Amino acid sequence: MSERDPELTNVAPGEPHDSLMSETISYVVGLGLALLLTGVSFWVASTSALWGPGVAVGLVVLAIAQMGVHLVFFLHITSGPDNANNVLALAFGVLIVFVVMIGTIWIMAHLAANMGPTPEMTNLMTQRG
């Protein structure tokens, strides 16, 4: 086992690990994709050519795509075997983030509807009966 075996080694997050050229190209490609996605986001938000109610969902999808670009090209979180620990930590973080955000929004959006009847309402019902 004289050569570096990717199965048995790890890399740190954020650490570029290639030649000068390919490292720089990785950042340039990342910058280009991020600029593209940002531009599309601002265009989608400004144009009237798209179906209004779908725009917000589209913006969220574009944002998630751009986060992916940042993770891969700037933070070098890849699917390689030397990156398993970083990816697993990220996966757990994403899970908690989604549970907190979607859980909160879900509960708070239904809070009013799921509350019991107010005293006034109860009073009206007893009067009617």
Residue 87 Cβ vs other proteins, minimum distance, rounded to whole Å: 11
Does residue number 13 form part of the binding site for other proteins (CB under 8 A)? Answer: yes
Q: Does 40 participate in binding other proteins (rule CB under 8 A)?
A: no
Establish if 124 lies at the interface with other proteins (CB under 8 A).
no
Q: Is the CB of 103 or the CB of 122 nearer to other proteins?
A: 103
Contacts 24+ apart (CB under 8 A), 6-14: 6/80, 6/81, 6/82, 7/81, 9/82, 10/82, 10/83, 10/84, 10/85, 10/86, 11/76, 11/80, 11/82, 11/83, 11/86, 12/86, 13/75, 13/76, 13/77, 13/86, 14/74, 14/75, 14/76
Q: Residue 37: how many CB atoms within 10 A of its CB?
A: 19
How many angstroms separate the CA atoms of 109 and 127, rounded?
31
Site string for other proteins, 45-74 (x = CB under 8 A): xx-x---x--xx--xx-xx--xx--xx--x
| Residue 75 interacting with other proteins (CB under 8 A) | yes
Residues engaged in binding other proteins (CB under 8 A): 1, 8, 10-16, 20, 23-24, 27, 30-31, 34-35, 38, 41-42, 45-46, 48, 52, 55-56, 59-60, 62-63, 66-67, 70-71, 74-75, 85-86, 89-90, 92-93, 96-98, 100-101, 103-105, 108
